[in-house]
Structure 1
Amino acid sequence: MKHFYLFLLITVLSLPAFSQNCTIILNRAEDDYEAGRLLGIPDRIMPCLENEAFSKEEKIRALKLMTLVYIFTDNDSKADEYLVKLLKADPEHDLDPEVDPAELYYLYNQFRVKPIFRIAFRAGINSSDPQIVNSFSSGDTNAWPKFTNGRTPDGLKEYTVEGSQAVAAINGIGLGTFLELMIERHLLKGIEVAAGPQLRISSYNVDMYLNIPSVYSEIVEKQTYLRLPVLARYNLWYEDEPRKDILPYAYLGGSFDYLLNATVSDGARTGGTSFSLVENNDYKANDMVYNTNVSMFGGLGAKFRMATHFLTVEFRYDRSFGLYHNPENRWNNNQNSTFDLAYVPDDTKLHMFSFSVGYTRSIYNPKKLVE
């Protein structure tokens, strides 16, 4: 046992010396390459590579040196092998026309060096922008229109009914969140396509006066959607050399949306008899909403380069084609709607503004494309 510990101690203490020795070996090998003395370089470099004695920067230098040596000693298979290793250690390795020989460029251009796809994760906040197609109420919607996200269907923040005082919106816009995971692939000249699932939670506020300013209801409608967006994106400066650190982009797409949950998440009435929200507030269970919808969207954003990966920020607007509420069941005997709150859902299309931040990771598989 003592001999084992002694051996282990000697091994650990010798590692820094071995790494330092490999640095010297690499420097001398590069000098020999510049002087045209190529034979023997692989035999000196290989032990250091096999024992992982190089730093990351030194490993890249060593793999590039091995590739060059095999190019100029006409060992094509070994040159291919070490260029693949170089591209795995340093994806999209940059060549310098003032330093790197034409032979390396020629070989490099025969390989797939760009990502085969990217994985993008985004998280963000959304602000609902409901469009009221037709408004309904147990009262007079012409004289006392509802406020949805702080505005009437005509865009007013307040109004005055003849013979009464002015009334105004009580609540503002509804906010929510979303998470998105997308697989992205570049096609050509900065054009990408992408698709993946999105989980979106959104809400909007409805304020309604019940024919007098002193009696009013406040309602919060909340929705959870599982969405499948598909998009096409154009990236500015995508193929510029040298590579830009910031890539602005724009995109258009469409989505199939499946409703997971829809409720009146909060509700209160001021004036009249007392009110408390009851359990029967599940619009999906009561068939008061459509389970599926289709939407289109567009957005602007920017990618901030992190080596071969990206941080992203973007703004998006989603526009729904179909109605959110089911008109056939709007008058269902739901206690929240027809009695306590005196609230009847409108014909509503759910549009959405959103802002997100994200991280995009590039996935590589370097491979020779030309034999």
Structure 2
Amino acid sequence: MKKHVTNMQKVIRLYSLLLVSTVLFCALETKAQTACTQTLRQARTVFDEGRIHELEQLLSDCIDNGFTDDERTEAYRLLILAHIYLDETEKADDAMLELLRDNHGFEINQQADPAELINLYNTFRHDPIFFWGFRGGFNTSFVNVIEAHGVHNLNNSNATYSNQLGFVVGLLIEKRFGKRITLRSDLQYIINTFDHSYSMFSRTDTGVDIVNSTVSETQNSAGMSLMGQFRLFPEKEAIKKNKFEKLNPYVGLGVTGRYILSSALTFDVSNSAGASPDGASEDLIDAEIRKSFNPTADVEFGIKKAIGLTYLTAGVRYSYGFLDITDRHYDNGRLTTFFGWGANDINTHSLTAFIGVLIPQYVPKKLTK
């Protein structure tokens, strides 16, 4: 019992030490920030009085550690102007590069900033070189029958396709060209599902179907797309945009090279005799019934809402599969002989609703002529 109390005391002492250390650290941090805030006020006065040669030494310690993000941006701005006015070109370039690396969202004020600062800023690459991100969503598939096949009388059979819910996830990368054109590439994992319902051996005298089957087909695919996007509104200051313009709507047109990894077929069968030979599951890729390559032409409408430096993107995409994805119609096995199923010649299309995130990648540098 004594040992248990001793261990508890050790734990309490450890937590007390951690608590005191945290409080002391926060106090020191607050004190340092307060001191640097006073330093920045002093720097403003020094700059206004024209003693700009003193600014580098005055601000250096707090720039390294002590300023808040906004204070550090202002300090860099004062320091850059000081180097410009002292004709210290290399130091001005170095300070501008450090500012752009520290604050990717820094922008000059065309109405208020000195022309020298604006001109120096424009000699640097300050926009993101590309965007990367991820997105996901749900899709629904549509099937177009090019030619029907089966072991039964197709003229005396009811056959329909119905779309089901699937989903898609992907990684993406975007590169802007000018103010309104963007080129994007996606790497996607896609699941498309649709049902094929058909009947066999319908009695012409009663109209009763002897065998009714519903076949669910689930395709798992990997896709690589290339799309060009056109921004609907020209870029301008956020304060001048209406609510719809702030969503940055765009339209896109592209192609996707889609490779079907698997195409699982599952049966649900009923007949008038009461037997239900369910449970069959076949991979149509392994059976060489479906083709693996299924390219699509894509059209997309979306928005890109800025949230800080990142973008929330959402929209819809329609993908048109223009190739027949059926390689052969019968397997000469249980699909054909037991279930009476034959693969129709089809192409597939899909409608996808998605949401995602775009993250800018900045690499500031001095531009060379």
Which residue of structure 2 aligns with residue 224 of structure 1?
220
Corresponding letter in the other structure for 1:191:
I
Instruction: Note if contact 2:190-2:220 (Cα within 8 Å) is conserved in structure 1.
Output: yes
What is the identity percentage for the equivalent residue pairs of Structure 1 and Structure 2? 24
**Aligned pair partner of 2:38 in 12, 24, 30:** 24
Query: 1:97 aligned to 2:98?
Result: no
Structure 1 residue 230: Cα displacement: 0.7
Give the total of aligned pairs: 339
From the superposition, tell whether residues 324 and 23 of structure 1 become closer, same or farther in structure 2 (CA, over 3 Å).
same
The one-letter code of the counterpart of 1:145 is N
Equivalent AA in structure 2 for residue 34 of structure 1 = D
Post-superposition offset of 1:238: 5.1
Cα deviation code 1:300-329 (max 9, x no counterpart): 000000122100001001111211221xx3
Deviation at 1:8, TM superposition (A): 11
- Report whether the alignment pairs 1:239 with 2:238: no
Structure 1 residue 354 displacement after superposition: 0.5
TM-score, with length taken from structure 2: 0.86
1:364 is aligned to 2:362? yes
User: CA offsets per residue over residues 37-83 of structure 1, 9 Å max, x none?
Assistant: 31211111110112x21111112211222212211111111111111
Q: Is the 8 A contact 2:267 2:278 kept in 1?
A: no
In 1, Cα distance between the equivalents of 2:319 and 2:194? Answer: 15
Offset, 1:214 = 5.8
SS at match of 2:283: coil
Distance of 1:270 and 1:220 partners within structure 2? 18
- Rounded Cα–Cα distance in structure 1 between residues aligned with 2:280 and 2:21: 75
- Distance in 2 (CA, whole Å) between partners of 1:177 and 1:265 is 19
Does 2:107 correspond to 1:111?
no
- Quote how far apart the aligned CAs of 1:204 are: 0.5
C-alpha distance in 2 between matches for 1:367 and 1:310: 23
Q: Distance in 2 between matches of 1:106 and 1:195?
A: 34
Compute the displacement of 1:7 (Å).
11
Q: Give the Cα separation in 2 of the matches to 1:8 and 1:330.
A: 72
Partners of 1:322 and 1:349 within 8 A in 2: yes
Contact 1:200/1:225 (<8 A) preserved: yes
1:293 is paired with a residue of what secondary structure? Answer: coil
- Tell me if the contact between 1:227 and 1:257 (Cα under 8 Å) persists in the aligned partners: yes
Instruction: Return the alpha-carbon distance in structure 2 between the equivalents of residues 231 and 303 of structure 1.
Output: 16
- Paired amino acid for 1:233: Q
Q: Match of 1:325?
A: 326
Distance apart, 1:92 and its partner CA: 4.0
Q: Which residue matches 1:43? A: 57
Runs of 4 or more consecutive aligned structure 1 residues displaced over 6 Å after TM superposition: 5-12
The answer for the alignment partner of 1:277 in structure 2 is: 279
Contact 1:117 1:362 (C-alpha < 8 Å) held by counterparts: yes
What is the TM-score normalised by the length of structure 1? 0.85
- Secondary structure at 2:110's aligned position in 1? coil
2:52 is aligned with 1:54: no
Q: Give 5+ residue unaligned stretches, structure 2.
A: 1-17, 203-207
In structure 2, which of residues 166, 170, 193 is the aligned counterpart of residue 176 of structure 1?
166
The answer (yes or no) to whether the contact 1:203–1:222 under 8 Å persists in 2 is yes
Q: Aligned equivalents of 2:95 and 2:144: distance in 1?
A: 60
Contact 2:149 2:329 in 1 (8 A): no
Q: Quote the residue 1:299 is aligned against.
A: 300
Counterpart position of 1:345:
343
Q: 2:146 aligns with which of 133, 137, 146?
A: 133
Task: Deviation per CA, 1:142-185: give whole Å up to 9, x if none.
Answer: 33231101xxxxxxxxxxxxxxxxxxxxxxx2111111111110
Alignment of 1:112-261 (within 5 A): 112-149=125-162, 173-210=163-200, 211=202, 212-213=208-209, 215-237=211-233, 239-242=235-238, 245-261=246-262
In the aligned structure 1, how far is the partner of 2:272 from the partner of 2:78? 83
Residue 14 of structure 2 aligns with which residue?
none
CA distance in 2, matches of 1:102, 1:319: 52
Q: Distance in 1 between matches of 2:290 and 2:23?
A: 71
* In structure 2, distance between residues paired with 1:265 and 1:71: 73
Deviations 1:92-148 (A, max 9, x none): 422223321011110111111111111031101110011111112222333323110
C-alpha spacing 1:127/1:11, structure 2 compared with 1 (3 Å): closer
Residues in 1 aligned to 2:222 and 2:24: alpha-carbon distance in whole angstroms:
59
1:10 to partner: Cα distance: 7.3
